[in-house]
Chain A
Amino acid sequence: MIPSGDYIRILPEIVLSIFGMLVMVIDPLLGENDDRKSIGVVSAIGALLALGATFIMAGHPGEAFYNILRVDDFAVFFHVVVILIALACILMSFEYLKVQEIRQGEYYGLILFGTVGMCLMSSAIELVMLFVAIEISSISTYILAGFRRRAAESAESSLKYFLLGSFATAFFLYGIALMYGATGSTNVDAIAAALRQGTPVMAYLAIALMMVGLGFKVAAAPFQVWTPDVYEGAPAPVVALMSTGPKAAAFAVLLRVLFGTAAPGWFWAVWIAAALSMTIGNFGALVQTNVKRMLAYSSIAHAGYLLVAFIAVRNMEQGVSAAMFYTAAYAAMNVGAFAVVSHFASAGEKYVSIEDYAGLGRRSPVLAAVLTVFLLSLIGIPITGGFFAKFYVFRAAVSSNLIWLTVIGLVNSAIGSYYYLRLLVMMYMKEPQSEESVPSVPFAAGFAMAGCVVATLYLGVFPNRVLQFAIESARTLVH
């Protein structure tokens, strides 16, 4: 008999699933020519209710469903981050879908279902659940990537994401199989207990394979090749979602798997992945002419910075909390940047090259100002969330004596600021190429952008509350 308290521990997931199904039922009931905005509104309400459900869930920490899930501060943190990301993406899609003439019902349904997967990823402590959760989120995003069905780029992006994503999943699964063979269990806690007794060789192999799989999901080098292609072809609001949501959730999984199981022998692997991701991401971004590709490379670089926090093993709490803070700050600024990109792109995603942004400061001062905030945050300028995110990560690295990695990271931040600044220069110091007026930002998308600006600045001015919460959650994760 399953105690009813268990259902409260998956309340956000239940709410999201119900609304996902509701959205898909409403869609065919509407007439062919009816305004489908109501579907978007319903899904936004669903996301809001899920956020409320998360706070109810937070009041009932503990295990659920025979140790399959664990609700702790760590899970609550990632639930909030992921659901807010989904909400912002839903809001910015209202106008985008109309402009691009994309069918709406399934779109919102898939965003909500994908969010269910991401939420479960952060609370699963049983590898079976983890695997199913990863697949729920992945399969939803595969489809979403191909939603501009008539555009060849979108279908191609979806195909590449699908093939490489399933390839990575197979590696992750093989890792689980070997871990099961080595320890006799698929539960994170039981694995940790078994690994404390001694480490069979097979466990090292298992950890390596699982890290290959998760490396793909977080787009860390050397498994990053798919990122630019997929981000370039996928619809912009979907990129906003998949560059932050599944990534945040995959980092949560990585934290749980590496720290929760007290896994051995990953120090140098993550060290090299971090250094490579930062370098490849930043150098790759330098030569891009497409904004979405540039932000894709930038997301690889940011995955690298985030991995630096993982290796700060001497003070695990500091490292884990820095990683969590980074995920939140990165989500705020990247979703915001893509909100601007998706609004500016217009029908058929015409305007996505960096030259198109010339003179945006004059053509649409507000849009330019909003994008400026996000770009400055991505660089890591003080009073934005990006600054404290980098600061905490490098502080954790220095306190663990990772001097070389810190140096590589700081050099990379300097290189990285070049391409963000190039876009800023383009917006404010170049003559506009066309006098065509930029369409004004509609309410929903504007609300999403404003929310991201507020979140970015809040994390930059008052980082303490979020960081304190992250430190407490890290404590529950690292025993």
Chain B
Amino acid sequence: MVPLSWYLLLSAFLFASGVAGFLIRRNIITIFMSIELMLNGVNLAFIAFATVRHSLNGNVFVFFVMVVAAAEAAVGLAIIIAVYRTRETLNVDRVNLLKL
């Protein structure tokens, strides 16, 4: 059986690549996908812990995360369309009317 730590390392790696993608990528859609990648890293950690501990809490949590991520995607893509309509670009560096 694959030991728990491997799963945790993979989940940490997925999460970290999500964070890196969020910070480095400039396309809004790619940034949004990076966030989904982070969530999947979290899901993997939940499943791994649930399997080791023989409890269902982790599995149930994953369902909630997936449902909420779907809701977030629906809203997020709508917002991205609204931005594209007003600015005609998907590059975050050019969505800069409000100074950061």
Give chain A's interface residues, CB within 8 Å of chain B.
Answer: 127-128, 131-132, 135, 139, 142-143, 146, 149-153, 155-160, 162-163, 166-167, 170, 173-174, 176-178, 180-181, 184-186, 225, 228-229, 232-233
Contacts and interface: CB of A to CB of B under 8 A. Distances in A.
**Chain B interface category by residue count:** 35 or more
16 contacts: A149-B82, A152-B86, A152-B87, A155-B86, A156-B86, A156-B97, A162-B79, A163-B76, A167-B38, A170-B18, A173-B39, A174-B41, A177-B45, A225-B100, A228-B98, A232-B98
B71 A176 contact: no
A186 B61 CA distance: 9
Contact of A158 (B31, B46, B82): B82
A173 B42 contact: yes
B72 A135 contact: yes
B45 A181 contact: yes
Interface string B39-58: 10110011011000101011
Contacts of A158: 79, 82-83
- Residues of B contacting A: mostly: helix
Contacts of B55: 184
Contact of A159 (B28, B53, B64): B28
B67 to A, nearest CB: 9
Given A146-B82, A158-B82, A180 B58 contact: yes
B47 to A, nearest CB: 10
Contact of B68 (A135, A159, A160): A135
B75 A139 contact: yes
A170 B68 contact: no
A167 B22 contact: yes
A174 B97 contact: no
Given A159-B28, A232-B98, A170 B42 contact: yes
Contacts of B85: 155
B98 A163 contact: no
A100 B35 CA distance: 33
* Residue with the greatest number of chain A CB neighbours at <10 A, chosen from B11, B85, B86: B86
A157 B75 contact: no
B25 to A, nearest CB: 11
Given A128-B61, A152-B86, A152-B97, A159 B80 contact: yes
A121 to B, nearest CB: 14
B20 interface: no
B45 A178 contact: yes
